[in-house]
A and B are shown apart, each in its own frame.
Chain A
């Protein structure tokens, strides 16, 4: 029972990360129709930015997190402007290839600047709480609470503010949004900034627990894709639900079946589901 509860707790923690990262990805994919393969690598860059601000500059964990989110938001705006916007009118295939190019660029950027060895961010909250026989470190609890706060905040932003409404409008109908006077380019840039900023939040929350490495974003980015496709492209609840579900499946599968093959489960499930329903579980339209 203790093992089960411990795995459940870890599953929810991983699921929180997956949910935030997939949320950022689904926003970009739903609104801009851009398969941003580099999303996982932006998450990785967020972790390294936290290391730079909190560790190298010594500004402390929370200030480092805020600066990391701001830095990644800027990276997102630049990426939208210089990589994806010029490809808007070209065949879709070119946008994927540009995404692979930016992924390679970001990974080698981290490699050049910070080196291939794993880096550790000092854990700001090393205390642990014992409850129901399982150990919960404060930082792990913070991941779960942080994810809930972020999701709730983003929901309020999308539903209650005008800026959020413009994002939904562009997602529903690009031309229609233009006709009502929405600056589509500005909305795209804003969406990208939110997407990369949330990736930085996820990375900042979880990186004090694990090591940073330049390749840490690759597998996570692909899992985010799996979640987004299964949950339906552009569907925010689908991404959140899918994220928590994948976290739980992996933690329980890894704990009870096979740890080495735990990544295979998610990818095999995707191939299986797409072969039955080519547009994803809740997919509404084709890209």
Chain B
């Protein structure tokens, strides 16, 4: 069940090679910036997928935790703390606030949880726009320094002054996050997440501590959102309340649902495909969100597993069809 066929592994290798060689065949700085942002969104969306897709809790505060990470790095690096210290610190702050919010709110279920997290998201958004001493109000914080260079013995040092350096840094974090999530969701503990999602009372009755499971998932997901937010602040060089706003959450939600809930590749596919599609649909302007809103409804009604889930189902059908064909031809020849 957990081992993948050889051609799937080959496909992943090709995608990895394509990602590593990206700076050589995407010379346009603007498109490159969009792809770099997609990497960041892919990290954050993977975190949301852990809570929403695997554990089945509709969190609508993910943008807020992304924003907390971004503001954390912005404030700390502006105060002179190194980025390499500020990033884990902000991710930990995100996770800790996630713990504080998760402890009371995860006792609620279903619609209640969605609304409470949405309320928390709006509070963070309002506070980030009004706490002028800390967050700079609606103008936000400008001039966030780039990460300092890492010295490597016998080689020189890795610098992050160029867009390319930041791209590789984000890609490295995306791979680490995906590897960690892969280890997590295919472990026995990861299975308890899905047990809670599929039937909470049943999971409870077979001895799973459902509250702790949900809390671990929520905190881990928000930790990942904090990392993504911190990287976002360092790459863009500025944060404003939109980074913490609920539109950010809804964007992540679109990426997860259209890409494919409860699959590791789905959020990544969504986070890459949708911003690029949006870019090509630039001429449609405001009509884009109209289309994506309708698409969200259609996908959730007809393909609840999103693009990756749909492709997977198609693949299963093809395999079944091929097997039937080989057995039939076997019967015919014998």
Q: Which residues of A contact B (CB under 8 A)?
A: 29, 35, 37, 83, 86-87, 90-94, 96-98, 100-109, 111-112, 218-219, 222, 225-226, 229, 260-261, 263-264, 267-268, 270-271, 274-276, 278-280, 286-287
| Inter-subunit contact B110/A286 (CB<8 Å) | yes
Set of chain A residues within 8 Å of B208, measured between Cβ atoms? none
Residue interface bits B285-307, CB-to-A below 8 A is 1, else 0: 01111101111110011001000
B253 beta carbon closer than 8 Å to chain A: yes
Q: Which residues of B contact A (CB under 8 A)?
A: 52, 56, 58, 60, 101, 103-105, 107-112, 114-116, 118-120, 122-123, 126-127, 130, 246, 250, 253-254, 257, 286-290, 292-297, 300-301, 304
| Inter-subunit contact B287/A278 (CB<8 Å) | no
| Chain A residue at minimum C-beta to C-beta distance from B109 | A286
Sorted from nearest, which 5 A-B pairs have the closest CB atoms?
A: A275-B104, A105-B293, A101-B296, A104-B293, A108-B289
| Inter-subunit contact A274/B105 (CB<8 Å) | yes
Identify B250's interface contact among A98, A100, A111, A229, CB under 8 A: A100
What is the predominant secondary structure among interface residues of chain A facing chain B?
helix
CA distance A241 to B115 in the complex (A): 20
Cβ of B20 to closest chain A Cβ, rounded Å:
34
Cβ of A250 to closest chain B Cβ, rounded Å:
14
Identify B115's interface contact among A35, A263, A286, CB under 8 A: A35
| Inter-subunit contact A278/B119 (CB<8 Å) | no
Set of chain A residues within 8 Å of B253, measured between Cβ atoms? 97, 100
CA distance A208 to B192 in the complex (A): 54
| Inter-subunit contact B112/A278 (CB<8 Å) | yes
CA distance A280 to B107 in the complex (A): 12
| Inter-subunit contact B297/A98 (CB<8 Å) | yes
Cβ of A83 to closest chain B Cβ, rounded Å:
6
| Chain A residue at minimum C-beta to C-beta distance from B296 | A101
CA distance A226 to B291 in the complex (A): 29
CA distance A107 to B296 in the complex (A): 14
Cβ of B63 to closest chain A Cβ, rounded Å:
13
| Inter-subunit contact B300/A263 (CB<8 Å) | no
Q: Would you give 19 A-B contacts (Cβ < 8 Å), ordered by A?
A: A83-B301, A93-B52, A93-B58, A96-B111, A97-B253, A97-B300, A101-B297, A105-B289, A106-B293, A108-B286, A108-B287, A218-B246, A225-B115, A225-B118, A260-B130, A263-B126, A278-B108, A279-B108, A286-B110
CA distance A268 to B126 in the complex (A): 12
Identify A94's interface contact among B107, B112, B295, B304, CB under 8 A: B304
